[in-house]
Amino acid sequence: MITSETEAREFVSDLCDAEAMERLDQFVAALKLENETQNLVAKPTLETAWQRHIADSAQLLSHVSRETGVWLDLGTGAGLPGLIIAIMRPKRPVVLVESRRKRIDWLERMRMDLTLPKCTIEGKRLELVESVRASVISARAFAPLPKLIDLSARFSTAETTFVLPKGRSAAQELQTLPKKARKLFHVEQSLTDDDAGILVGSLAKGMRTKI
């Protein structure tokens, strides 16, 4: 379990290079400033930003086997987890979907300032985003599980891995899926919170049209 800012930095630095670490520091500094003008994350969480946001996002990499293909992040908001993945894996195409104007502007600015040419931002509602085949789909605090799957199934194939940090409700949310769909996901322990879980899984063919 990651229990301090130092441990969080060490955990993340094992997963990326020194240049990415510099960019992550730049991101954290910018996030603290931006949070004074728009409510991107809960203010108290900024004191432990590396644990609560950076390592929390970075840990998703451990649940994804393929290092290639589009990583699609739904409802990216402050940049979590999608922008963190884009910083740590700058050669990978990462698509961030976010509908709120001020948040889109923030993400665009970060993408420019951090020089992330493979990262693209779909500044609109997910429902309006053109279908692409995603290799990974992530979403933190985006929507209840059945709705999330309903909205994102058209971006998935049988090879797509869903990685969904669900906080304390992970196991409970899984129970809200029909029995057949439930079997396709499992709960991984979060490394940043004893009580939190990450839902990991893929959708079978029939499930991709309707759950």
Residues in binding site for S-adenosyl-L-methionine: 75, 80, 126-127, 140
H helical segments located in 71-209: 82-88, 101-113, 145-152, 170-174, 179-182, 205-209
Is it true that the peptide bond before 146 is cis, omega within 30 degrees of 0? Answer: no
Binding positions are 75, 80, 126-127, 140
11 sits in which H/E element: helix 5-13
Minimum Å gap between C-beta 183 and ligand SAM is: 26
First to last CA, the chain: 34
Shorter beta-carbon distance to ligand SAM: residue 64 or 72: 72
Shorter beta-carbon distance to ligand SAM: residue 2 or 74: 74
The residues that touch ligand SAM, with contacts defined as CB under 6 A, are 41, 75-78, 80, 97-100, 103, 125-127, 140-142
- What is the bridge-based pairing of β-strands 94-97 and 70-74? parallel
Minimum Å gap between C-beta 104 and ligand SAM is: 9
Shorter beta-carbon distance to ligand SAM: residue 168 or 183: 168
Minimum Å gap between C-beta 69 and ligand SAM is: 21
Shorter beta-carbon distance to ligand SAM: residue 147 or 210: 147
Minimum Å gap between C-beta 63 and ligand SAM is: 17
Rounded CA separation 142/90 (Å)? 24
| Burial group, residue 187, by CB count within 10 angstroms (0-12, 13-18, 19+) | middle
